[in-house]
Structure 1
Amino acid sequence: MMNWIAAALLIAGCFFYIAGTVGLLRLPDGFSRLHALTKADNLGLGFLVLGLILLAPDWLYALKLVLIWLLVVISGASGAHLIAKRALQDQREEI
């Protein structure tokens, strides 16, 4: 039963990664693309980590996965903030 739940979580994570990629390709402006990509990737990675935690042989592996997820979430949010801030500065300079 645990393997089925883990598989469902892994599939959900892959779905959100694909949704983020589609948002990156189809949304009209850079801010919408950035928002879709960061939100979908963070949620997708969360589902992947949850699925892998259920399959982890030891609690130490689960702790490492959570630490990796937290670092990716923090760095993704920081990177998105810096990209958006720079884009806003470029828009003000054009006016």
Structure 2
Amino acid sequence: MHILTELLISIFLIMSGVFGFVGSYGLVKLKNSLQRLHAPTKATTLGVGGVILASLVYFYAETGHVSVHELLVSLFLFLTAPITANFIAKAYLAQNVRSEDLPPSATAFGWSVYDEPPETMPDAKDL
């Protein structure tokens, strides 16, 4: 394998290790669940992305073909991580935040997590 290829793979692996460490450290040190949610979903997603990039480069250098497996894993990861984080955050808000603690909303429906929609829908021109 060429030295530049090995250097590129090493850079991706070091980058992913740094992001993984930062995400793990943030998970331990941050105070509440919403803060703890931010560190692993952002930093460790980038960490796993670095490992996937290193794997792509390695298998392309070894076989001469782009591996579809890594592309599918990265697609699945980048689609599911934000959605999962959103669900966890909404569940936390539904359990721990009262509607009196929220600032006033700028919409006619209020905060969607806490208020029921009105019985009749207003016209779009009225909003």
TM-score bin (small chain): 0.7 to 0.9
Question: In the TM superposition, what are the counterparts of 1:4-83 in structure 2 within 5 Å?
Answer: 4-56=7-59, 57-61=63-67, 63-83=68-88
**Structure 2 residue identity aligned to 1:12:** M
The C-alpha deviation readout for 1:4-32, integer Å capped at 9, x for no partner, is: 11111111101111110000000111111
Deviation of 1:70 after TM superposition, in Å, equals 1.3
Residue 93 of structure 1, CA deviation: 5.3
Give 2:20's aligned amino acid. Y
Letter in 1 for 2:94: Q
2:95 to 78, 90, 95: 90
Q: 1:80 & 1:7 partners in 2: Cα distance?
A: 30
Unpaired stretches in structure 1, ≥5 consecutive residues = none
Residue 60 of structure 1, CA deviation: 4.4
* Alignment TM-score, normalising by the size of structure 1: 0.88
- Counterparts of 2:97 and 2:31 in 1: how far apart (Å)? 19
Deviation by residue 1:24-82 (Cα, 9 ceiling, x = unmatched): 00011111110111000111111111111110124342x22021011012121111111
AA of the residue aligned to 1:59: H
1:35 maps to a residue whose letter is H
- Percent sequence identity is 27
- 1-structure distance, mates of 2:32, 2:87: 17
Give the aligned CA root-mean-square deviation in angstroms: 1.8
Residues 27, 37 of structure 2: 8 Å contact kept: yes
Unaligned 5+ runs, structure 2: 101-127
